[in-house]
């Protein structure tokens, strides 16, 4: 069930209505049934996997909390890790590793037929396994008490707004909210609807329109050189942001209407002034997950510089693998690992250089330059992320220039009207981000509420007039 579908709008309307019609003590039952139905609408059989994961994590956490024997506590922690990562490996990575081993052995004249499982990737598997495991680890660390109510815990794992593409919630934030009594709140409803409207604008007006260009050009990169490749790469940067941010805004808005506050997952990432800052603004729930459950256990930055570099490199390599079973994702992670290391090592030199040429004295130019450079570096990384294979990556980087290619007559997937709408939509997006970043919009709209309503009426009209309504799946569903 896609957020950008009539099916979801009807489904959510019914669920939200029944939610406030029911007594508080029955609401968890409604939400759990709705969440399981939501997940089963993709492929009903795979609900067995998520239910199995729930049972393992629930029981493991209970035994970890009640167990006095440290070895037994560790056993149940390892059990939950093995089961969840085992499911993830089998469904997401087994075929990739089997094929990779076969190709490697064949280079040395060793015949090995890869074993290929004929299975589909369960939607949201990377998200709900990470959410479940963070809970078990928190209980093991005694940062969280094991949840005794099985139904509430099952709801924590399956809560439909953020089930299939995040944000990856923490038990300390989400679990207590299911136990609180939420009365209907008009302000929450309006705020939630506004968030959902902005999310739909990002998805159907911007992301799905840009997807036409990106899919056509990246679908056969060898047909293009120069400007089309640059255009598609820049468009993909905004497509993936608007697609993923759009999902999170719809999810957060839907939860808000029901009185549930989900964590922020994006904070205007393309206004970042460094790669380090970018990762504090992009996919925040995942980056903080890796920080808390991988980077810090490895020693973080409280180790020698070589070991710190290794920690950074490993975290981003794993992040790349998390996104998909493809060497392109691994290289994307490795690239950002190098970005982070180089950024940290060279920060003093960079500041000295900008100081020597006088840019630091002109604050706005200096800040703008850092934002542009960071965006270019991130966009280079998106080439690896979007390309179908390593061969396409090499082709793109070797055919970006000269850019003085005749643009006229080349089919990029959009006519001139759609292209203008796409560019104007990006301008609107970035204008909104700049205003939110540097101005106190909350106080302004409190004084001029009528302006806010006009803006959202225009936004809804834009969605209806310029939206691409083809029920296109969200990009992060594949991860």
Q: Is residue 305 part of a domain?
A: yes
Residues 6+ apart with CB under 8 A from 87: 49, 52, 53, 125, 129
Please check whether residues 329 and 426 belong to one and the same domain: yes
**What residues are labeled active site?**
323
Running DSSP on this structure, what letter comes out for residue 192? H
Instruction: Let me know if residue 206 belongs to a domain.
Output: yes
204 and 177 belong to one structural domain: no
145, 219: one domain: no
pLDDT band at 28 (very low <50, low <70, confident <90, very high): very high
Q: Say yes or no to pLDDT of 178 above 90.
A: yes
- Round to whole Å and give the CA distance between 60 and 75: 9
Among 147, 168, 184, the domain boundary falls at 184
Q: Which helix (H) or strand (E) holds 213?
A: helix 208-219
- Count structural domains, the chain: 2
- The enclosing H or E element of 72 equals helix 70-88
Is 1 inside a domain boundary?
Answer: no
Whether the full predicted model's pTM is greater than 0.85, yes or no, is: yes
Nearest alpha-carbon partner for 73 in 82, 60, 64, 62: 64
User: What pLDDT score was predicted for residue 353?
Assistant: 42
To the nearest 10 degrees (0 to 180), the angle between helices 70-88 and 47-66 is 170
**Do 193 and 179 fall within a single domain?**
no
Q: What is the pLDDT of residues 231-256, one digit of tens each?
A: 999 999 999 999 999 999 999 999 99
pLDDT digits (tens, 9 = 90+) for 82-129: 999 999 998 888 888 888 888 878 877 777 777 887 877 788 888 999
pLDDT at 134 over 70: yes
Q: Check whether residue 179 and residue 198 sit in a common domain.
A: no
Question: Which residue range(s) make up the domain with 69?
Answer: 6-184
- Is 122 a member of any domain? yes
Task: Quick: pLDDT tens for 296-322.
Answer: 999 988 888 889 999 999 999 999 999
Residue 235: per-residue pLDDT: 96
- Of 184, 210, 226, which one is at a domain's C-terminal end? 184
CA 426 vs CA 155, 192, 345: distances in Å: 37, 23, 33
Confidence of residue 409 (pLDDT cuts 50, 70, 90): low
For residue 347, give both structure tokens.
């920060």
Residue 285 covered by a domain? yes
| pLDDT value at 408 more than 50 | no
Q: What is the pLDDT of residue 164?
A: 84
Question: What pLDDT sits at residue 86?
Answer: 92
Which of 153, 184, 215 is the C-terminal boundary of a domain?
184
The answer to whether position 97 is within a domain reads: yes
Q: What is the pLDDT of residue 352?
A: 47
pLDDT of residue 475: 76
- The residue-averaged pLDDT of 128-139 equals 94
């Amino acid at each position: 069930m896609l957020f950008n579908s009539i099916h979801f709008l009807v489904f959510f309307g019914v669920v939200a209505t029944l939610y406030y019609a029911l007594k508080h003590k029955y609401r968890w039952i409604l939400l759990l049934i709705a969440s399981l139905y939501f997940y089963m609408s993709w492929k009903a059989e795979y609900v067995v996997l998520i239910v199995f994961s729930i049972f393992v994590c629930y029981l493991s956490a209970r035994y970890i909390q009640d167990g006095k024997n440290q070895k037994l506590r560790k056993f149940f922690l390892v059990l939950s890790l093995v089961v969840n990562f085992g499911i993830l490996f089998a469904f997401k990575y087994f075929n990739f590793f089997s094929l990779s081993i076969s190709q490697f052995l064949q280079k040395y004249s060793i015949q090995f037929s890869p074993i290929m499982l004929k299975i589909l990737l369960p939607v949201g598997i990377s998200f709900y396994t990470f959410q479940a495991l963070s809970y078990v680890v928190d209980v093991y660390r005694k940062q969280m008490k094991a949840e005794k109510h099985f139904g509430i815990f099952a709801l924590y794992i399956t809560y439909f707004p953020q089930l299939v593409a995040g944000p990856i919630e923490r038990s300390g934030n989400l679990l207590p909210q299911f136990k609180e009594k939420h009365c209907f709140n008009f302000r929450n409803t309006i705020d939630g609807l506004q968030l959902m409207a902005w999310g739909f604008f990002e998805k159907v007006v911007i992301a799905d329109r840009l997807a036409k260009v990106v899919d056509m050009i990246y679908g056969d990169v060898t047909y293009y050189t120069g400007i089309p490749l640059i255009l598609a790469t820049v468009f993909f940067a905004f497509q993936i942001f608007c697609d993923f941010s759009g999902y999170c805004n719809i999810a957060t808005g839907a939860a808000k209407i029901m009185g549930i506050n989900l964590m922020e997952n994006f904070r205007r990432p393309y206004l970042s002034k460094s790669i380090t800052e970018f990762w504090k603004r992009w996919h925040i729930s995942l980056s903080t997950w890796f920080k808390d459950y991988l980077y810090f256990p490895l020693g973080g930055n409280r180790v020698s510089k070589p070991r710190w570099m290794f920690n950074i490199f490993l975290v981003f390599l794993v992040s790349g693998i998390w996104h998909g079973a493809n060497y392109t994702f691994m290289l994307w992670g490795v690239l950002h690992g190098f970005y982070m290391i180089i950024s940290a090592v060279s920060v003093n030199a960079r500041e000295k250089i900008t100081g020597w040429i006088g840019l630091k004295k002109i604050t706005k130019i200096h800040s703008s330059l850092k934002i542009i450079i960071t965006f270019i570096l991130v966009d280079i990384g998106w080439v690896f992320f979007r390309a179908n294979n390593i061969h396409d990556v090499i082709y793109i980087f070797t055919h970006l220039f000269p850019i003085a290619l005749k643009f006229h007559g080349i089919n990029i997937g959009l006519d001139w009207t759609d292209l203008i709408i796409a560019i104007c939509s990006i301008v609107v997006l970035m204008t909104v981000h700049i205003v939110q970043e540097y101005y106190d919009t909350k106080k302004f709209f409190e004084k001029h509420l009528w302006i806010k309503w006009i803006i959202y009426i225009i936004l809804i009209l834009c969605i209806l007039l310029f939206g691409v309504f083809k029920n296109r799946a969200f990009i992060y569903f594949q991860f």
